[in-house]
Chain A
Amino acid sequence: MIEIFQTYTAEFMQGMGMTIFSSLLAFAGSIILGLVCALFEISPIKPLKIIGTVYVEIFRNIPLLVVTMFFYIVIPKYVMPMSGFSAGTIGLTIYTSAFFAEVIKAGINSVPTGQWEAARSNGMTYLQAMHHIVFPQAVRIIIPPLGNQTITLVKNSSVLAFVAGFDLMYQANQISSITFQQVPTYFIVGILYLIITMPLSYLMRHLENKLEV
């Protein structure tokens, strides 16, 4: 096993780098898209509500691989060329943002109605009440499930292997098909994924403790 790792260190590290890079991009994109969708979903404005709800319902109910394949095959064929890495990361972002949206929406909805009513009765607009009172309280509720979704995101980034995204899983497939040493290869890959996700788990736990006032 050590031999495999030593021989293919560069490939493993490159794969790990790609996995982290793709996860970071998808995380940032999912936070923004998820937040927008959540705000749309709970918006008092009907058309926005419909857009948000339809988006979430579509993308969380289609397998990640199908969403990703759409960007890998359909977009390059009819719209514009796209690398496997881009297709994979966009697919991952869109898929994950639907789950982020649900988590954020649930967090906002769990803030007691009384907080809304007090803020609105105090003369605040909907957006002021959201910005100053409701959302800051929702964040505390949102963080733990969002942490779980983020760890899932990192693991789901292995979908890049299917679209030649040069991530960790892709490299593992390559190495094992050259060496026929499947067991040690995938064992190493498992450990490398753990190295990425374990600190995330700790970070989330730390944040949870910190946010408890």
Chain B
Amino acid sequence: MAMIEFNHVNKFYGQFEALKDINLNIERGEVVSIIGPSGSGKSTLLRTINGLETIQDGQLIVNGFDLADKKTNINTIRRDVGMVFQHFNLYANKTIIENITLAPHIVQKRDNDKLKVEAMKLLEMVGLADQADKYPKQLSGGQKQRIAIARALAMNPKAILFDEPTSALDPEMIGDVLEVMKKVAKQDVTMVVVTHEMGFAREMADRVVFMDEGQILEVSDNPVEFFNNPTEPRAKSFLSKVIAR
């Protein structure tokens, strides 16, 4: 069974149709990049997966749970689906290590001492073990984003949603964050990555989804081929602009 299944999903903001007839299956362990121009619905699509945005129509099944079903407890899905935000959203009132251990402790009721040990391992993985007792505002953007990834991983998620994780970063910070994402991609966690980093999409993604105006226009299971030779004209024009940049 697929990790994430969109069947004819529509989403409206009032009259405006933000997502139009979305059909997409994302398999367990798969790395999928969603690209497309601003306002094309990429982030909206991503945010429907963990219920930050609701859908009006169609069927969306995540980890076996139907999001439109009133009996589905959204918190159950969110326990297994982490999220990394463009603006990090680290808990400002918690230290770095608390940012990582808080949810596993209070949501999954895991032992705090063991969690601290695990959190230190995660901090080592993202190269920030020396920052454990600092507060988020003492860190740079790139460091914050690596912590945010560690925070998501601490829940042992089945999937992680990345919402433009490098878009708010200074160019010299992007590399460190992409390094960490590559490490995550090698694990068996499902990744859905909305990104403007074409390098990551080309190199790491199993599939690339191209969106425009709320629709999925092209899905390619050969990213290298897609970037060299997009079939859809709008993808072609988009890529020529991004790559020329």
List residues of chain A with CB under 8 Å of any chain B CB: 112, 114-115, 117-125, 128, 132-133, 136-137, 213
Contacts and interface: CB of A to CB of B under 8 A. Distances in A.
Contacts of B78: 120-123
Contacts, number: 60
A132 B91 CA distance: 9
Contact of A117 (B89, B106, B108, B155): B89
Interface in B76-102: 78-79, 81-83, 85, 87-94, 102
Contacts of B200: none
A132 B92 contact: no
Interface of B: 50, 52, 75, 78-79, 81-83, 85, 87-94, 102-103, 106-108, 135, 151-152, 155
Given A124-B103, A128-B106, A119 B135 contact: no
Contacts of B152: 122
A120 B52 contact: yes
Closest 3 A/B residue pairs (Cβ): A118-B89, A122-B103, A114-B89
B89 A213 contact: no
A123 B92 contact: no
16 contacts: A117-B89, A118-B85, A119-B103, A120-B78, A121-B50, A122-B82, A122-B83, A122-B103, A122-B152, A122-B155, A123-B79, A124-B103, A124-B106, A124-B107, A128-B107, A133-B91
Contacts of A114: 85, 87-89
| A contact face: mostly helix, strand, loop, or mixed | helix
Given A118-B85, A132-B102, A125 B92 contact: no
Contact of B103 (A112, A115, A117, A123): A123
A134 to B, nearest CB: 9
